[in-house]
Amino acid sequence: MKQYKQPVSVLVVIHTRDLQVLLLERAAHAGYWQSVTGSQEEGEPLLTTAVREVGEETGIRVLAEGLVDWQLSNRYEIFAEWRHRYAPGILHNTEHVFSLLLPAAQPVTLAVEEHLRYCWLPWREAAGKCFSWSNRDAILMLPERMPER
């Protein structure tokens, strides 16, 4: 029996205190830049999904306590070309937003089957480079979501 993806995912915006944001370029779609994203696995808490995806996509090892759950979710239509990954009739995904503050921009280890390149950009530039509206909007909210300096 085919294993379908859950229509629930995480978006993890990785950034520094001076609002440099990490973006990853999708392997399947050159020119499509995004933050860390990934689908929740069966029975997995969202925070665990976020920790797992950060590790898988960047090689950054983080404890759950290092992530901030924004208590924000976005519902969007799944691109037609990716719907085959979901059970028949599933057209929408619910994405939960998290962030990870790092002390400085750092090299990352990409999952080569998922991403081609990475870059660190100032937050406004990073927002403009994202193909996803929800990712763009999350990055634009970063200044108001930053912990006290």
Q: What residues are designated binding site for Mg(2+)?
A: 53, 57, 114
Q: Where are the beta strands (DSSP E) in 4-146?
A: 8-16, 20-26, 33-34, 36-39, 67-77, 92-102, 115-122
Tell me the backbone φ, ψ of residue 25, rounded to 5 degrees: -95, 125
| The residue type at 111 | A
Q: What residues are designated binding site for substrate?
A: 5, 26, 37, 132
Pairing label, strands 8-16, 92-102: parallel
Q: What residues are designated binding site?
A: 5, 26, 37, 53, 57, 114, 132
Two tokens, residue 148: 């006290």
Give residue 19's region: left, alpha or beta (phi > 0; psi -120 to 50). left
As a whole number of angstroms, the distance between CA 5 and CA 3 comes to: 7
